[in-house]
Amino acid sequence: MSGILEGLRVVEMGHWVAVPSACAVLADWGAEVIKIEPLTGESARGLRQLGEQTGDLFFNGVPVNWRIELHNRGKRGLAVDAIHESGREIICKLARWADVFMTNYELESLTRLRLDYARLSQENPKLIYALLTGYGTKGPDKDERGFDYAAAWAHSGIQFLLGEPGSPPPPPRGGMMDRTAGFQMLAGIMAALLHREKTGEGQELHVSLYHTGVWTLAADIEAALLGVPLPKYERHKIKNPLANLYRTKDDRWIQMIMLQSDLQWHGFCRAIGKPELENDPRFNNMLARAVHCEELISLLDAIFATRTLAEWEPLLRENKCIFSRIQTPAEVTTDPQAAINGFFSTIPHPVAQELKLVNSPVHFQQNPARIKSHAPEIGQHTEEVLLEIGYSWEDIARLKEERTIL
Amino acid sequence: MAGILEGLKVLEMGHVVAVPAASATMADWGAEIIKLEPLTGEMARGILTPITPEEKAWVANPQYVNWYFEFLNRGKKGIAIDLRSEAGKKIMRELVGWADIFMSNYEVKTIEKLQADYESLKKINPRIIYAILTGYGTVGPDKDERGFDFSAAWARSGAMFLMGEPGSIPPPQRGGMMDRVTGAHMVGGVLAALYHREKTGEGQKIEFSLYHTGVWTIAEDIQPALLGSPPGKLVHALARNPLWNNYRTRDDRWFWAAMLQPDLSWGNFCRALGHPEWENDPKFNNLEQRYWNREELIRLIDEVLATKTLAEWEAIFRANDVIYGRVQSPMEVAADPQALANNFFVDLHHNVRPDMKTVMTPVKFVQNPPEVKAPAPEVGQHTEEVLLSMGYTWEDIARLKEQQVIL
């Protein structure tokens, strides 16, 4: 069965994570993605761990640049020096070939390279042009460089609100908000493509990391807009103790999330082996539990500390509690629930023989997503792509000599 | 200018956050959304139900607006139907015939009971794009577990485990965060399926789970774990690249130093901190040396940063081209000139609170800009209007009300 976006043509002039990850998803969905990189490769190729692991992770005895593989699978790679006039011409030709052009280069570089929407839409008026910025295209900070840590996490309010009062505000994990912004872009592109089907018109669309963070945190921002910002969570004072986390005897944590706690109180009391609490007037309804939350939480802390996670899970399940263990990444990779739902794929790899990769999260039932191939080396498909868009072998030889391509 | 999705028809049988957020996004983009609710309204209408006396007083205020429900349901039409009745199921099936997209995050067993599963609906409308969100996926030992984003996307995925310093309490996410991330995945998926339908005429079923959303969101941690090298938590005092770290200022504010190509920024950073002599110090003058001497360097940086306020540092950082982001509070975001200049907040046009603003969705179409069309519907606000447009008469409507099939 063909991919759901079979036939769609995408040109990526992206680096780091946000735009590359969105284009990897488009490739998984069947689109033909051409990634344009400078001759030295894009920035993320250098983002390897330092110290004990200088270089890549070893897998099957060989080094794998796993971050590049994760975010660039299924693409063809083209290495072009866009500063050269002849390099710029190649990109303009590709814009004529493409349905979608995606970039997270700085707007001032794009303008300087004459690869902004105004120019590329002259090449191809039907082009969908998607631009990611750190902080938006207007305002005092429009030219600030923003990584997701800074623009989407620190600046949006997320980091401020996470963690206990007084504790250092926790940074995100690598690329979290980049992959989120990437999906916002992807959704926008799909909407613009549908609109183009109906009207024949192209479109320019912008997403910023900052706005992505703000939308992700929208409930808190909405409260702040009304002038009543919500406080940070304090674990020992959560008003609904059935929506709180508890530590087990083996130092694991369980996140409970029973938002309709009056419906679940009965089962919960049974699960923890304290049926007598059910009708205790201090705790027997939502208001009582809110008033006596500190007392109840310290009681529950003592109870949860008496059993291990493995002992608690079946008890909580049998009694229809809504919860999850706080899992480690290693546990995720061996979780039968993740495996059977298709969270991971194994693909052939020329160096490591095979490579296990994380699948993107949309499961089309009739036209399933599929990782087509491993990530390209820098410029791996330059010749192939140039031949396809009308360059001759002589042109290619000349471009190589000029150092416009690899 | 028309919204980019003008003419698109969406039937939402959603509750709480994820699916409502997805369809609110499409409403901002011009699609017509019919939200189908039970006669008592969906769960999210109760999220702000007051518990304490202070909360009760707040809700009693005539200017009170159920803001949580508002921002997730702006721009939709609301109809209230009892789907347990045959007449109610019939209305739902007729709406499926009308719709391009059906989306739901009801439990799968409930959907089957309501005969709203894909196999049933595709018989009514073979071109329907059918999107279903579960907590943990549609197969496997946990397929029927109820999952909220706190549990299925945040705790189970590894994100919560990895956050914060070692030994600290794992921080819960903020309300609805991963639901709204899932919402964006859903919008991307259903619109891709529609695009495919434009080309082929074929409908599609699409499955989403909160768990997979969480795993994709922290894929850069799951990926090395898949290769046998699970990552650990970040430790401030041991950051591999001290220019990619969290720092505290004199006024107890924090910022994130965001220099991923630190050799390019090192000179600027040293000058900004007033220690130009560090630039060529052989202990620190390149990436690897800073790694080996990171404990000492981070201690030195901590000491220097503790001598000035965040505002003082920001002016210095900007003058020296240091890449950073301040850790802002939501109140600061609400008043941030940068957020205002980029139209993050728009009027909701709410009659009870005419001054109320709501958070705009983050995709800005330049030619067909998104807009918030209207506040959220009351329970069943548009039931009559929608039924009339589907060919029901006022007599039918009166009868359905009497039978308590609709509100």
Cα separation, B150 vs A65, in Å, equals: 32
Residues in A 231-290 with any Cβ partner in B closer than 8 A: 233, 235, 239, 243, 245, 253, 255-257, 259-260, 286-287, 290
Which residue in B333, B356, B360, B366 has the most chain A C-beta atoms within 10 A of its own C-beta, making it the best mutation to test that interface? B333
Has the ipTM of the complex gone over 0.90?
A: yes
Nearest chain B residue to A364, by CA: B206
Nearest chain B residue to A285, by CA: B51
Nearest chain A residue to B206, by CA: A364
- Token pair, residue A11, equals 């040109």
Among B96, B94, B104, B125, smallest CA distance to B197 is for B125
pLDDT value of position A54: 42
**In this predicted model, what pLDDT tens digit does every residue of A46-67 receive, in sequence order?**
876 553 444 477 778 888 889 9
Residue A260 pLDDT exceeds 80: yes
Which residues in A lie closer than 8 A to residue B255 (C-beta atoms)? Answer: 154
Which residues in B lie closer than 8 A to residue A54 (C-beta atoms)? Answer: 288
Global confidence as pTM: 0.96
**Please, which residues bridge with residue B35 across strands?**
B12, B78
**In this predicted model, what pLDDT tens digit does every residue of A318-337 receive, in sequence order?**
999 999 999 999 999 999 99
Domain map (residue ranges) of chain A = 9-218+342-401, 236-328
- Whether residues B288 and A50 touch (CB distance < 8 A) is answered with yes
pLDDT value of position A49: 57
- Whether residues B287 and A66 touch (CB distance < 8 A) is answered with no
Cα separation, A109 vs A15, in Å, equals: 13
**Residue written as tokens 């709180």?**
A244
Could you tell me the CATH superfamily of domain A236-328? formyl-coa transferase, domain 3 (3.30.1540.10)
Of the ranges A116-130, A377-391, B227-241, which one carries the lowest mean pLDDT score?
B227-241
Residues in B 85-104 with any Cβ partner in A closer than 8 A: none
Q: Tens place of pLDDT for every residue, chain B, 407 residues? A: 789 999 999 999 999 999 999 999 999 999 999 999 999 999 999 888 888 888 888 889 888 999 999 999 999 999 999 999 999 999 999 999 999 999 999 999 999 999 999 999 999 999 999 999 999 999 999 999 999 999 999 999 999 999 999 999 999 999 999 999 999 999 999 999 999 999 999 999 999 999 999 999 999 999 999 988 899 999 999 999 999 999 999 999 999 999 988 999 999 999 999 999 999 999 999 999 999 999 999 999 999 999 999 999 999 999 999 999 999 999 999 999 999 999 999 999 999 999 999 999 999 999 999 999 999 999 999 999 999 999 999 999 999 999 999 98
**Please, which residues bridge with residue A12 across strands?**
A35, A102
Which amino acid, residue B149? D
Largest CA distance in chain A: 87
A178 assigned to active site: yes
List the single residue in A70, A207, A336 with the smallest CB-CB distance to B363.
Answer: A207
SS3 at position A10: strand
- Token pair, residue A393, equals 């072998």
Which residues in A lie closer than 8 A to residue B148 (C-beta atoms)? Answer: 257, 259, 322
For residues A366 and A6, is the Cβ–Cβ distance under 8 A?
no
Residues in A 165-194 with any Cβ partner in B closer than 8 A: 167-176, 179-181, 183-188, 190-194
Which residue in A212, A216, A253 has the most chain B C-beta atoms within 10 A of its own C-beta, making it the best mutation to test that interface? A216
Which amino acid, residue B79? I
Task: For residue B280, give every residue at least 6 positions away whose Cβ sits within 8 Å of its Cβ, in sequence order, or none.
Answer: none
- Token pair, residue A143, equals 């030219």
- To the nearest whole number, what is the mean pLDDT of chain A? 95
Q: How many CB atoms lie within 10 A of CB B182?
A: 31
User: Cα dihedral angle (A346, A351, A353, A356), rounded to 10 degrees?
Assistant: -20
For the domain bounded by B236-331, which CATH number is listed?
A: 3.30.1540.10
For residues B113 and B88, is the Cβ–Cβ distance under 8 A?
no
pLDDT value of position A60: 81
The rounded percent of chain A whose pLDDT value lies above 70 is 98
CATH class of the domain at A9-218+342-401: alpha beta
Cα separation, B247 vs B255, in Å, equals: 6
**Residue A61: exposure state from Cβ atoms within 10 A (0-12, 13-18, ≥19):** exposed
pLDDT value of position B285: 94
Cα separation, B176 vs B263, in Å, equals: 38
Q: Is B355's Cβ below 8 Å from some Cβ in A?
A: no
Ramachandran region of residue B176, left (φ > 0), alpha (ψ -120 to 50) or beta? left
Closest CA–CA distance from residue B293 to any residue of chain A (Å): 11
SS3 at position A303: helix
Could you tell me the CATH superfamily of domain B9-220+346-402? Crotonobetainyl-coa:carnitine coa-transferase; domain 1 (3.40.50.10540)
Domain map (residue ranges) of chain B = 9-220+346-402, 236-331
List the single residue in B65, B137, B324 with the smallest CB-CB distance to A150.
Answer: B324
A225-232 long-range contacts, CB within 8 A, separation 24+: A225/B334, A225/B345, A225/B356, A225/B357, A225/B358, A225/B359, A226/B65, A226/B67, A226/B356, A229/B329, A229/B330, A229/B331, A230/A161, A230/B174, A230/B175, A230/B330, A232/A161, A232/A162, A232/A163, A232/A164, A232/A165
CA-CA-CA-CA torsion sign (A249, A254, A260, A264)? negative
- Whether residues B162 and A329 touch (CB distance < 8 A) is answered with yes
List the single residue in B209, B223, B338 with the smallest CB-CB distance to A358.
Answer: B223
Q: Is B313's Cβ below 8 Å from some Cβ in A?
A: no
**In this predicted model, what pLDDT tens digit does every residue of A356-367 receive, in sequence order?**
999 999 999 999
Which residues in B lie closer than 8 A to residue A286 (C-beta atoms)? Answer: 51
Q: Is B151's Cβ below 8 Å from some Cβ in A?
A: yes
List the single residue in A158, A169, A332 with the smallest CB-CB distance to B222.
Answer: A332
Residues in A 81-110 with any Cβ partner in B closer than 8 A: none
**Please, which residues bridge with residue B364 across strands?**
A206
Cα separation, A168 vs B164, in Å, equals: 8
**In this predicted model, what pLDDT tens digit does every residue of A156-175 receive, in sequence order?**
999 999 999 999 999 999 99
Q: Is B126's Cβ below 8 Å from some Cβ in A?
A: no
How do beta strands B204-209 and B129-134 pair? parallel
User: Cα dihedral angle (A173, A177, A180, A186), rounded to 10 degrees?
Assistant: -130
Q: Return the number of CB contacts < 8 Å for A and B.
A: 478
